[in-house]
Homo-oligomer: A and B are copies of this chain.
Amino acid sequence: MAQSLIRNVDVLIVPEAGECHVAEAQDIHLTDSVITAIVPTGTPPPATPVEVIDGTGLLAVPGLINSHTHSPMVMMRGAAEDLSIDDWFNQRIWPMEVNLTPERVRVGARLACAEMLLAGVTTFVDHYFHADQIAQAAIETGIRADLAPTYFSSAGPEAIDAAIATTRELATLHPRITASLGPHATYTVSDDDLRRTADVARAEGLRIHLHAAETDDQTQASLDKHGVTPIEILDRTGVLDAGALIAHGCGIRDTDLPILARYADRTTVATCPKVYLKLAMGNGTPVKQLHSIGIRTGIGTDGAAVHNTLDVWESLRLLALTQKHQQNNAEWMPLSDTLSLATRHSAAAANQPTTLGVLEPGRQADITLLDLSAPHNQPLHDPRAALVYSVRASDVHTVLVAGEVVVRNRQLTKLDLAEVLADARSLAHTLVDLSQGSAIQHYAP
Protein backbone atom coordinates (compact mmCIF):
# COMPACT_ATOMS: atom_id res chain seq x y z
CA MET A 1 0.00 0.00 0.00
CA ALA A 2 1.78 3.15 -1.22
CA GLN A 3 0.96 6.26 0.79
CA SER A 4 1.29 9.68 -0.73
CA LEU A 5 0.34 13.21 0.19
CA ILE A 6 -0.44 16.48 -1.56
CA ARG A 7 0.46 18.98 1.12
CA ASN A 8 -0.99 22.42 1.76
CA VAL A 9 -3.21 22.76 -1.27
CA ASP A 10 -6.50 24.59 -1.79
CA VAL A 11 -9.25 22.16 -2.84
CA LEU A 12 -12.33 22.67 -5.00
CA ILE A 13 -15.25 21.02 -3.23
CA VAL A 14 -18.14 19.98 -5.50
CA PRO A 15 -21.02 18.94 -3.25
CA GLU A 16 -23.91 16.79 -4.41
CA ALA A 17 -26.21 19.70 -3.57
CA GLY A 18 -25.33 23.30 -2.83
CA GLU A 19 -22.56 25.58 -4.01
CA CYS A 20 -19.08 24.58 -5.10
CA HIS A 21 -16.50 26.23 -2.88
CA VAL A 22 -12.79 26.17 -2.16
CA ALA A 23 -11.41 24.71 1.08
CA GLU A 24 -8.06 26.38 1.72
CA ALA A 25 -4.87 24.80 3.01
CA GLN A 26 -5.73 21.11 2.93
CA ASP A 27 -3.68 17.93 2.88
CA ILE A 28 -4.91 15.26 0.45
CA HIS A 29 -3.86 11.78 1.53
CA LEU A 30 -3.75 8.96 -1.00
CA THR A 31 -3.33 5.22 -0.67
CA ASP A 32 -2.42 3.69 -4.01
CA SER A 33 -4.98 5.04 -6.46
CA VAL A 34 -7.55 6.21 -3.91
CA ILE A 35 -8.11 9.39 -1.90
CA THR A 36 -8.20 8.39 1.75
CA ALA A 37 -8.51 11.71 3.52
CA ILE A 38 -8.72 15.46 2.92
CA VAL A 39 -7.85 17.28 6.13
CA PRO A 40 -6.56 20.69 7.17
CA THR A 41 -2.85 21.04 6.47
CA GLY A 42 -0.66 19.70 9.23
CA THR A 43 -3.09 17.11 10.57
CA PRO A 44 -0.84 14.09 11.37
CA PRO A 45 -1.01 11.58 8.52
CA PRO A 46 -2.34 8.05 9.11
CA ALA A 47 0.90 6.61 7.69
CA THR A 48 4.23 8.00 6.56
CA PRO A 49 3.84 9.09 2.95
CA VAL A 50 6.29 7.76 0.41
CA GLU A 51 5.80 10.75 -1.85
CA VAL A 52 4.94 14.29 -0.83
CA ILE A 53 3.80 16.80 -3.45
CA ASP A 54 3.98 20.41 -2.32
CA GLY A 55 0.67 22.02 -3.19
CA THR A 56 1.51 25.43 -1.78
CA GLY A 57 -0.04 28.11 -3.95
CA LEU A 58 -1.91 25.57 -6.07
CA LEU A 59 -5.60 24.73 -6.40
CA ALA A 60 -6.63 21.07 -6.62
CA VAL A 61 -9.65 20.32 -8.77
CA PRO A 62 -11.12 17.00 -9.84
CA GLY A 63 -9.29 15.87 -12.97
CA LEU A 64 -11.31 17.09 -15.91
CA ILE A 65 -13.32 14.58 -17.91
CA ASN A 66 -13.71 14.89 -21.66
CA SER A 67 -17.20 13.40 -21.94
CA HIS A 68 -17.24 12.87 -25.70
CA THR A 69 -14.38 12.81 -28.15
CA HIS A 70 -12.77 10.98 -31.04
CA SER A 71 -9.22 11.34 -29.85
CA PRO A 72 -7.25 10.22 -32.95
CA MET A 73 -8.92 12.94 -35.02
CA VAL A 74 -6.25 15.34 -33.75
CA MET A 75 -4.47 14.11 -36.88
CA MET A 76 -6.97 16.13 -38.97
CA ARG A 77 -6.81 19.27 -36.81
CA GLY A 78 -7.32 22.34 -38.97
CA ALA A 79 -7.91 20.35 -42.15
CA ALA A 80 -11.68 20.91 -42.47
CA GLU A 81 -12.47 24.56 -41.78
CA ASP A 82 -15.37 26.87 -42.64
CA LEU A 83 -17.59 24.09 -43.94
CA SER A 84 -21.26 23.24 -43.52
CA ILE A 85 -21.94 20.11 -41.51
CA ASP A 86 -22.79 18.25 -44.73
CA ASP A 87 -19.56 19.23 -46.45
CA TRP A 88 -17.56 18.64 -43.28
CA PHE A 89 -18.70 15.01 -43.27
CA ASN A 90 -19.01 14.28 -46.98
CA GLN A 91 -16.22 16.35 -48.53
CA ARG A 92 -13.60 15.95 -45.81
CA ILE A 93 -13.91 13.77 -42.74
CA TRP A 94 -15.53 10.58 -44.00
CA PRO A 95 -13.33 10.53 -47.13
CA MET A 96 -10.26 11.15 -44.94
CA GLU A 97 -11.21 8.29 -42.64
CA VAL A 98 -10.69 5.87 -45.50
CA ASN A 99 -7.02 6.42 -44.62
CA LEU A 100 -7.26 5.12 -41.05
CA THR A 101 -4.84 2.37 -40.06
CA PRO A 102 -4.07 0.96 -36.61
CA GLU A 103 -0.71 2.77 -36.59
CA ARG A 104 -2.18 6.14 -37.56
CA VAL A 105 -4.89 5.79 -34.92
CA ARG A 106 -2.33 4.94 -32.25
CA VAL A 107 -0.08 7.87 -33.19
CA GLY A 108 -3.06 10.21 -33.11
CA ALA A 109 -4.30 8.85 -29.80
CA ARG A 110 -0.88 9.30 -28.19
CA LEU A 111 -0.83 12.94 -29.32
CA ALA A 112 -4.37 13.39 -28.01
CA CYS A 113 -3.48 11.86 -24.63
CA ALA A 114 -0.47 14.18 -24.38
CA GLU A 115 -2.61 17.21 -25.17
CA MET A 116 -5.30 16.23 -22.69
CA LEU A 117 -2.99 15.36 -19.81
CA LEU A 118 -1.07 18.62 -20.17
CA ALA A 119 -4.44 20.42 -20.00
CA GLY A 120 -5.49 18.62 -16.83
CA VAL A 121 -7.87 16.14 -18.47
CA THR A 122 -7.59 12.83 -16.63
CA THR A 123 -10.36 10.83 -18.35
CA PHE A 124 -11.69 10.84 -21.88
CA VAL A 125 -14.81 9.17 -23.23
CA ASP A 126 -13.96 8.09 -26.74
CA HIS A 127 -15.85 6.82 -29.76
CA TYR A 128 -13.68 5.70 -32.66
CA PHE A 129 -12.24 3.01 -34.88
CA HIS A 130 -9.28 0.79 -33.87
CA ALA A 131 -10.19 1.37 -30.23
CA ASP A 132 -7.66 -1.24 -29.14
CA GLN A 133 -4.94 1.12 -30.35
CA ILE A 134 -6.47 3.98 -28.37
CA ALA A 135 -6.48 1.75 -25.30
CA GLN A 136 -2.75 1.11 -25.72
CA ALA A 137 -2.10 4.84 -25.98
CA ALA A 138 -4.14 5.50 -22.84
CA ILE A 139 -2.42 2.76 -20.87
CA GLU A 140 1.00 3.99 -21.94
CA THR A 141 0.39 7.65 -21.21
CA GLY A 142 -1.28 7.15 -17.83
CA ILE A 143 -4.66 8.66 -18.67
CA ARG A 144 -8.03 7.02 -17.95
CA ALA A 145 -10.44 6.26 -20.81
CA ASP A 146 -13.84 4.86 -21.61
CA LEU A 147 -13.66 3.52 -25.16
CA ALA A 148 -16.50 2.76 -27.57
CA PRO A 149 -15.47 1.01 -30.81
CA THR A 150 -17.45 2.73 -33.55
CA TYR A 151 -19.67 0.85 -36.02
CA PHE A 152 -22.07 1.58 -38.86
CA SER A 153 -24.70 -0.83 -40.14
CA SER A 154 -23.33 -0.25 -43.63
CA ALA A 155 -20.13 -2.08 -42.67
CA GLY A 156 -22.06 -5.32 -42.27
CA PRO A 157 -22.67 -7.76 -39.42
CA GLU A 158 -19.09 -8.99 -39.19
CA ALA A 159 -17.84 -5.47 -38.52
CA ILE A 160 -20.48 -5.07 -35.81
CA ASP A 161 -19.51 -8.41 -34.28
CA ALA A 162 -15.89 -7.34 -34.27
CA ALA A 163 -16.67 -4.00 -32.64
CA ILE A 164 -18.74 -5.66 -29.93
CA ALA A 165 -15.95 -8.19 -29.35
CA THR A 166 -13.48 -5.31 -28.95
CA THR A 167 -15.72 -3.71 -26.35
CA ARG A 168 -15.73 -6.98 -24.39
CA GLU A 169 -11.92 -7.26 -24.58
CA LEU A 170 -11.31 -3.65 -23.58
CA ALA A 171 -13.67 -3.92 -20.63
CA THR A 172 -11.26 -6.23 -18.79
CA LEU A 173 -7.95 -4.99 -20.17
CA HIS A 174 -6.67 -2.55 -17.54
CA PRO A 175 -7.88 -0.81 -14.38
CA ARG A 176 -7.86 2.58 -16.13
CA ILE A 177 -9.80 1.40 -19.18
CA THR A 178 -13.56 0.90 -19.34
CA ALA A 179 -15.53 0.19 -22.50
CA SER A 180 -18.88 0.98 -24.02
CA LEU A 181 -20.74 -0.29 -27.06
CA GLY A 182 -20.35 2.16 -29.93
CA PRO A 183 -23.09 2.23 -32.58
CA HIS A 184 -22.40 5.46 -34.48
CA ALA A 185 -25.83 7.11 -34.55
CA THR A 186 -29.52 6.57 -35.06
CA TYR A 187 -29.15 7.59 -38.71
CA THR A 188 -26.22 5.25 -39.51
CA VAL A 189 -27.19 2.17 -37.49
CA SER A 190 -30.44 0.36 -38.22
CA ASP A 191 -33.14 -0.22 -35.64
CA ASP A 192 -32.37 -3.94 -35.78
CA ASP A 193 -28.71 -3.34 -35.04
CA LEU A 194 -29.59 -0.94 -32.24
CA ARG A 195 -31.91 -3.60 -30.76
CA ARG A 196 -29.14 -6.15 -30.91
CA THR A 197 -26.75 -3.66 -29.28
CA ALA A 198 -29.25 -3.03 -26.49
CA ASP A 199 -29.66 -6.76 -25.94
CA VAL A 200 -25.91 -7.25 -25.61
CA ALA A 201 -25.68 -4.24 -23.31
CA ARG A 202 -28.38 -5.53 -20.96
CA ALA A 203 -27.09 -9.10 -20.97
CA GLU A 204 -23.47 -8.16 -20.28
CA GLY A 205 -23.85 -5.02 -18.18
CA LEU A 206 -22.31 -2.73 -20.81
CA ARG A 207 -23.52 0.74 -21.61
CA ILE A 208 -23.98 2.35 -25.01
CA HIS A 209 -22.31 5.52 -26.29
CA LEU A 210 -23.74 6.95 -29.49
CA HIS A 211 -24.68 10.10 -31.38
CA ALA A 212 -28.37 11.04 -31.44
CA ALA A 213 -30.43 14.12 -32.22
CA GLU A 214 -27.24 15.99 -33.00
CA THR A 215 -29.19 18.85 -34.61
CA ASP A 216 -32.82 19.77 -34.88
CA ASP A 217 -32.49 19.13 -38.62
CA GLN A 218 -31.65 15.51 -37.83
CA THR A 219 -34.70 15.25 -35.59
CA GLN A 220 -36.91 16.70 -38.31
CA ALA A 221 -35.40 14.33 -40.90
CA SER A 222 -36.11 11.40 -38.60
CA LEU A 223 -39.70 12.52 -38.16
CA ASP A 224 -40.09 12.96 -41.92
CA LYS A 225 -38.56 9.56 -42.79
CA HIS A 226 -39.64 7.40 -39.86
CA GLY A 227 -42.37 9.28 -38.05
CA VAL A 228 -40.39 9.24 -34.82
CA THR A 229 -37.64 11.34 -33.23
CA PRO A 230 -34.14 9.92 -32.69
CA ILE A 231 -34.91 9.73 -28.95
CA GLU A 232 -38.03 7.69 -29.74
CA ILE A 233 -35.83 5.35 -31.79
CA LEU A 234 -33.51 4.93 -28.79
CA ASP A 235 -36.57 4.18 -26.66
CA ARG A 236 -38.20 1.63 -28.95
CA THR A 237 -34.94 -0.21 -29.65
CA GLY A 238 -34.16 -0.59 -25.93
CA VAL A 239 -31.05 1.57 -26.02
CA LEU A 240 -32.34 3.93 -23.33
CA ASP A 241 -33.45 1.02 -21.18
CA ALA A 242 -29.97 -0.50 -21.42
CA GLY A 243 -28.32 2.79 -20.48
CA ALA A 244 -26.80 5.30 -22.89
CA LEU A 245 -24.50 8.26 -23.22
CA ILE A 246 -26.05 10.45 -25.91
CA ALA A 247 -23.60 12.73 -27.71
CA HIS A 248 -24.93 16.23 -28.42
CA GLY A 249 -28.72 15.93 -28.24
CA CYS A 250 -29.15 19.47 -29.59
CA GLY A 251 -32.20 18.23 -31.46
CA ILE A 252 -33.94 16.85 -28.37
CA ARG A 253 -37.52 18.15 -28.47
CA ASP A 254 -39.78 18.93 -25.54
CA THR A 255 -41.83 15.86 -26.44
CA ASP A 256 -38.71 13.71 -25.92
CA LEU A 257 -38.29 14.85 -22.33
CA PRO A 258 -40.90 12.56 -20.70
CA ILE A 259 -39.27 9.61 -22.48
CA LEU A 260 -35.77 10.53 -21.30
CA ALA A 261 -37.05 11.20 -17.78
CA ARG A 262 -37.97 7.52 -17.39
CA TYR A 263 -34.29 6.61 -17.84
CA ALA A 264 -32.68 9.48 -15.92
CA ASP A 265 -30.89 7.01 -13.66
CA ARG A 266 -29.00 5.49 -16.59
CA THR A 267 -28.98 8.11 -19.33
CA THR A 268 -26.47 10.93 -19.67
CA VAL A 269 -25.85 13.50 -22.38
CA ALA A 270 -22.50 14.95 -23.52
CA THR A 271 -22.45 18.53 -24.74
CA CYS A 272 -19.67 20.05 -26.90
CA PRO A 273 -20.67 23.68 -27.37
CA LYS A 274 -17.78 24.87 -29.53
CA VAL A 275 -18.91 22.47 -32.24
CA TYR A 276 -22.48 23.76 -32.27
CA LEU A 277 -21.26 27.29 -32.86
CA LYS A 278 -18.60 26.34 -35.39
CA LEU A 279 -20.84 24.15 -37.54
CA ALA A 280 -23.74 26.63 -37.18
CA MET A 281 -25.90 23.87 -35.74
CA GLY A 282 -28.42 26.23 -34.18
CA ASN A 283 -29.25 25.88 -30.52
CA GLY A 284 -26.97 23.71 -28.41
CA THR A 285 -27.92 20.93 -26.04
CA PRO A 286 -31.03 21.82 -23.99
CA VAL A 287 -29.10 21.52 -20.72
CA LYS A 288 -31.66 23.37 -18.63
CA GLN A 289 -34.53 21.16 -19.77
CA LEU A 290 -32.44 18.03 -19.22
CA HIS A 291 -31.57 19.24 -15.73
CA SER A 292 -35.22 19.74 -14.95
CA ILE A 293 -35.85 16.00 -15.53
CA GLY A 294 -32.72 14.84 -13.73
CA ILE A 295 -30.56 13.98 -16.75
CA ARG A 296 -26.88 14.59 -16.01
CA THR A 297 -24.91 16.43 -18.71
CA GLY A 298 -21.18 16.02 -19.17
CA ILE A 299 -18.94 18.41 -21.07
CA GLY A 300 -16.78 17.30 -23.99
CA THR A 301 -14.77 18.48 -26.93
CA ASP A 302 -15.82 16.14 -29.73
CA GLY A 303 -12.96 15.43 -32.15
CA ALA A 304 -10.28 18.00 -32.91
CA ALA A 305 -11.15 17.86 -36.62
CA VAL A 306 -13.98 20.20 -35.69
CA HIS A 307 -13.16 21.44 -32.16
CA ASN A 308 -9.45 22.00 -32.99
CA THR A 309 -8.48 21.36 -29.36
CA LEU A 310 -9.17 18.77 -26.68
CA ASP A 311 -9.26 21.55 -24.09
CA VAL A 312 -12.10 20.94 -21.64
CA TRP A 313 -11.48 24.34 -20.01
CA GLU A 314 -12.48 25.87 -23.33
CA SER A 315 -15.54 23.62 -23.50
CA LEU A 316 -16.78 24.37 -20.01
CA ARG A 317 -16.36 28.11 -20.55
CA LEU A 318 -18.29 27.94 -23.80
CA LEU A 319 -20.95 25.85 -22.11
CA ALA A 320 -21.57 28.59 -19.55
CA LEU A 321 -21.44 31.36 -22.16
CA THR A 322 -23.70 29.67 -24.71
CA GLN A 323 -26.20 28.59 -22.08
CA LYS A 324 -26.58 32.20 -20.91
CA HIS A 325 -27.09 33.25 -24.53
CA GLN A 326 -29.46 30.41 -25.37
CA GLN A 327 -31.62 31.00 -22.29
CA ASN A 328 -31.34 34.79 -22.66
CA ASN A 329 -30.53 34.86 -18.95
CA ALA A 330 -27.15 35.95 -17.59
CA GLU A 331 -27.96 34.43 -14.20
CA TRP A 332 -28.45 30.91 -15.60
CA MET A 333 -25.60 28.41 -15.67
CA PRO A 334 -23.77 30.04 -12.78
CA LEU A 335 -20.19 29.27 -11.86
CA SER A 336 -21.06 26.51 -9.43
CA ASP A 337 -23.34 24.63 -11.82
CA THR A 338 -20.78 24.91 -14.62
CA LEU A 339 -18.11 23.36 -12.43
CA SER A 340 -20.50 20.65 -11.32
CA LEU A 341 -21.21 19.73 -14.95
CA ALA A 342 -17.50 19.56 -15.73
CA THR A 343 -16.79 17.26 -12.79
CA ARG A 344 -19.66 15.39 -11.10
CA HIS A 345 -21.92 15.22 -14.16
CA SER A 346 -19.06 14.39 -16.48
CA ALA A 347 -18.10 11.49 -14.20
CA ALA A 348 -21.61 10.16 -14.77
CA ALA A 349 -21.14 10.60 -18.53
CA ALA A 350 -17.93 8.59 -18.18
CA ASN A 351 -20.05 5.87 -16.53
CA GLN A 352 -18.18 6.27 -13.25
CA PRO A 353 -20.51 8.49 -11.20
CA THR A 354 -19.34 7.23 -7.81
CA THR A 355 -15.61 6.80 -8.44
CA LEU A 356 -14.57 9.91 -10.40
CA GLY A 357 -15.38 13.61 -10.63
CA VAL A 358 -15.14 14.67 -6.98
CA LEU A 359 -12.27 15.03 -4.55
CA GLU A 360 -13.37 13.13 -1.46
CA PRO A 361 -12.29 10.01 0.44
CA GLY A 362 -13.04 6.81 -1.41
CA ARG A 363 -12.85 8.34 -4.89
CA GLN A 364 -10.07 7.72 -7.38
CA ALA A 365 -7.16 10.13 -7.03
CA ASP A 366 -7.58 11.84 -10.42
CA ILE A 367 -6.42 15.32 -9.48
CA THR A 368 -5.40 18.42 -11.42
CA LEU A 369 -3.31 21.05 -9.64
CA LEU A 370 -3.59 24.55 -11.06
CA ASP A 371 -1.31 27.51 -10.66
CA LEU A 372 -3.56 30.58 -10.75
CA SER A 373 -0.77 33.08 -10.07
CA ALA A 374 -0.33 34.39 -13.64
CA PRO A 375 -1.60 37.89 -14.52
CA HIS A 376 -4.67 36.67 -16.42
CA ASN A 377 -6.16 35.19 -13.22
CA GLN A 378 -5.18 37.98 -10.83
CA PRO A 379 -6.34 39.40 -8.51
CA LEU A 380 -8.23 36.28 -7.51
CA HIS A 381 -11.50 37.54 -6.05
CA ASP A 382 -13.23 34.22 -6.74
CA PRO A 383 -11.27 31.12 -7.79
CA ARG A 384 -14.45 29.60 -9.23
CA ALA A 385 -14.75 32.54 -11.61
CA ALA A 386 -11.14 31.95 -12.63
CA LEU A 387 -11.86 28.28 -13.32
CA VAL A 388 -14.79 29.11 -15.58
CA TYR A 389 -13.79 32.40 -17.22
CA SER A 390 -10.06 33.07 -17.15
CA VAL A 391 -8.01 29.92 -16.56
CA ARG A 392 -5.93 28.54 -19.41
CA ALA A 393 -4.83 24.97 -19.97
CA SER A 394 -1.31 26.31 -19.53
CA ASP A 395 -2.13 26.98 -15.86
CA VAL A 396 -2.18 23.22 -15.25
CA HIS A 397 0.87 22.48 -13.12
CA THR A 398 0.63 18.86 -11.96
CA VAL A 399 -1.76 16.03 -12.81
CA LEU A 400 -2.39 12.72 -11.07
CA VAL A 401 -4.40 9.84 -12.48
CA ALA A 402 -5.22 6.95 -10.16
CA GLY A 403 -2.72 8.41 -7.71
CA GLU A 404 0.12 8.44 -10.20
CA VAL A 405 1.83 11.70 -11.20
CA VAL A 406 1.47 11.90 -14.99
CA VAL A 407 2.26 15.61 -15.37
CA ARG A 408 4.79 17.25 -13.07
CA ASN A 409 5.62 20.93 -13.31
CA ARG A 410 3.93 21.13 -16.73
CA GLN A 411 5.87 18.16 -18.18
CA LEU A 412 4.59 14.70 -19.07
CA THR A 413 6.25 12.05 -16.88
CA LYS A 414 5.52 8.92 -18.91
CA LEU A 415 5.88 10.01 -22.49
CA ASP A 416 8.58 11.42 -24.73
CA LEU A 417 6.66 14.39 -26.09
CA ALA A 418 9.18 15.12 -28.85
CA GLU A 419 8.76 11.59 -30.19
CA VAL A 420 4.96 11.79 -30.01
CA LEU A 421 5.01 15.04 -31.96
CA ALA A 422 7.51 13.78 -34.52
CA ASP A 423 5.43 10.67 -35.16
CA ALA A 424 2.27 12.72 -35.60
CA ARG A 425 3.96 15.17 -37.96
CA SER A 426 5.43 12.42 -40.09
CA LEU A 427 2.04 10.76 -40.61
CA ALA A 428 -0.21 13.83 -40.72
CA HIS A 429 -0.30 14.06 -44.53
CA THR A 430 -1.50 10.46 -44.87
CA LEU A 431 -4.67 11.18 -42.92
CA VAL A 432 -5.85 14.15 -44.96
CA ASP A 433 -5.23 12.56 -48.35
CA LEU A 434 -8.43 12.81 -50.40
CA SER A 435 -7.12 10.98 -53.48
CA GLN A 436 -8.92 7.70 -52.68
CA GLY A 437 -12.17 9.06 -54.06
CA SER A 438 -14.22 7.06 -51.57
CA ALA A 439 -15.64 7.57 -48.08
CA ILE A 440 -16.40 5.40 -45.09
CA GLN A 441 -20.00 6.65 -45.00
CA HIS A 442 -22.30 9.32 -46.50
CA TYR A 443 -23.97 11.94 -44.32
CA ALA A 444 -27.65 12.07 -45.19
CA PRO A 445 -29.52 11.79 -41.89
Q: Give, as a whole number of angstroms, the nearest-CB distance from A301 to chain B.
A: 11
Q: Which of B309, B310, B331, B375 contacts A420 (CB 8 A)?
A: B375
A412's nearest neighbour on chain B, judged by CB, is B375
We find that the number of chain A residues with CB closer than 8 angstroms to chain B is 67
**A373 adjacent to B330 (CB under 8 Å):** no
Q: With a CB–CB cut-off of 8 A, which chain B residues contact A280?
A: 324-325, 327-330, 332
Stretch at the interface among A75-83, A339-347, A351-359: A75-83
Q: With a CB–CB cut-off of 8 A, which chain B residues contact A304?
A: 390
**B278 adjacent to A385 (CB under 8 Å):** no
**B385 adjacent to A78 (CB under 8 Å):** yes
Stretch at the interface among A52-60, A196-204, A222-230, A424-432: A424-432
Q: Give, as a whole number of angstroms, the nearest-CB distance from A177 to chain B.
A: 21
Mark interface residues in A386-426 (1 if CB within 8 Å of B CB, else 0): 10011011100000000000000000000001001100110
A382 within 8 A of B: yes
Mark interface residues in A307-338 (1 if CB within 8 Å of B CB, else 0): 01111000000101110110111111011000
Q: Give, as a whole number of angstroms, the nearest-CB distance from A91 to chain B.
A: 12
Stretch at the interface among A26-34, A36-44, A113-121: A113-121
**B119 adjacent to A308 (CB under 8 Å):** no
A277 within 8 A of B: yes
A361 within 8 A of B: no
Q: Give, as a whole number of angstroms, the nearest-CB distance from A64 to chain B.
A: 14
Copies of this polypeptide in the complex: 2
Q: Give, as a whole number of angstroms, the nearest-CB distance from A379 to chain B.
A: 3
A291 within 8 A of B: no
CA A112 to CA B425, docked complex, whole Å: 37
A439 within 8 A of B: no
Q: With a CB–CB cut-off of 8 A, which chain B residues contact A279?
A: 324, 330
A327's nearest neighbour on chain B, judged by CB, is B280
A431's nearest neighbour on chain B, judged by CB, is B379
A83's nearest neighbour on chain B, judged by CB, is B330
A378 within 8 A of B: yes
A84 within 8 A of B: yes
**A375 adjacent to B111 (CB under 8 Å):** yes
**A331 adjacent to B77 (CB under 8 Å):** no
**A309 adjacent to B389 (CB under 8 Å):** yes
Q: Which 4 A-B residue pairings sit nearest by Cβ, starting from the closest?
A: A78-B385, A379-B428, A394-B394, A308-B389
A residues apposed to B, CB below 8 Å: 74-79, 81-85, 88, 111, 114-115, 118-119, 274, 276-280, 282, 304, 308-311, 318, 320-322, 324-325, 327-332, 334-335, 373-382, 385-386, 389-390, 392-394, 417, 420-421, 424-425, 428, 432
* Further contacts, 13 of them, CB under 8 A, given A280-B330, A378-B424: A77-B377, A77-B378, A78-B380, A78-B382, A81-B334, A85-B330, A278-B320, A278-B389, A280-B329, A304-B390, A375-B420, A392-B393, A394-B394
